[in-house]
Amino acid sequence: MSELPKASTAKPKAPSNDTARKAVAVRALPTTLRLDVAGATLDSLESGLAADCGFPATDRAVWYRVDDPSGLGFVVDASGSDHRVGIAMLGGDPRDNVLMGCSGGSVLTASGGPAGPFYLAALSDARTATHLELAFRALPAPAATVTLDAVGALDGGGARLSGTYSCTGSGSPTTVTISGRLSQGGTQGISSPVDGTCDGATHAWSLLVTGPQAFSTGTAQAVVTASACSGPGCTNKTAQGTVTLS
């Protein structure tokens, strides 16, 4: 009677990105990367990250590198995996172990700021399931709106303009400033920028435009700009029109 073939006991081969120095470069967003992590291992750096991030059940890890030249930030979503995945993010050389963020809920958001590189360790509890799926996407640029009122008020030789603005940002922090300029014949003036609130709501703005000469009663041409910025990325929105000064 012939013997049945013996089941293979060979250990699965480790993925190419099993260590930080061999991290897979994520070159364009959005993208989704899939990997069988059955052969992945856990070294001292990775076990330290698991402890620092509070991921107790971790038995393997693989690495990815993301550059964020826009500075707007990005999201990594591991919810498509068939097991629990924690994500730890390091800034710069992984050997320096500069931990910038952790997520034990399968989604990590890297807010706007430095352009990277960022090294991401996908820390798996993959004893019974080994399919890792990471979806990378960029955070959108901040958005802004601005309106300009059709009337302005003379104020000590200057002119006070007003209107509304809104700002929405997905990165953190997102700031917004409003600035303006005014032209009335040969009289020109600019304002100092005023800070606003970036919370998605519509707010009123008011600023004082001054110049070398005083403005007078009548019409003038105004331009106002709202600048919403997250990291080095900014969105500028402009409103312009004729303003009646009184």
Q: How far is CA 222 from the centre of its chain?
A: 33
101 contacts 49 by C-beta, under 8 angstroms: no
42 contacts 60 by C-beta, under 8 angstroms: yes
CATH 2.60.120.380 fits 20-138, yes or no: yes
* Alpha-carbon radius of gyration of the chain: 27
State the pLDDT at residue 56: 78
What is the model's pTM?
Answer: 0.71
Give the Cα separation of 90 and 112 in Å (integer): 15
State the pLDDT at residue 170: 73
Query: Rounded to the nearest 5°, which phi and psi values hold at 171?
Result: -85, 170
State the pLDDT at residue 105: 76
Structural element, H or E, at residue 45 = helix 44-53
Question: Domain 143-245 adopts which CATH fold?
Answer: Immunoglobulin-like (2.60.40)
**Terminal Cα-to-Cα distance of the chain (whole angstroms):** 108
Query: Rounded to the nearest 5°, which phi and psi values hold at 128?
Result: -120, -15
Local confidence pLDDT in tens for the 246 residues of the chain: 556 555 556 778 999 999 999 999 998 899 999 999 999 999 999 999 999 999 877 899 999 999 887 777 899 999 999 998 999 999 989 989 999 999 987 898 887 666 679 999 999 987 778 999 999 998 888 899 999 999 999 999 999 999 999 999 876 678 999 999 999 999 999 999 999 999 999 999 999 999 999 999 999 999 999 999 886 678 999 999 999 999
Helices (H) and strands (E) in the chain, counts: 1, 18
Query: Rounded to the nearest 5°, which phi and psi values hold at 41?
Result: -120, 180
Contacts of 166 (CB under 8 A, 6+ apart): 144, 145, 200, 201, 202, 203
Q: Which sequence spans correspond to the domains of the chain?
A: 20-138, 143-245
Write the Ramachandran bin of 78: left for phi over 0, alpha for psi from -120 to 50, otherwise beta: alpha
222 contacts 174 by C-beta, under 8 angstroms: no
112 contacts 71 by C-beta, under 8 angstroms: yes
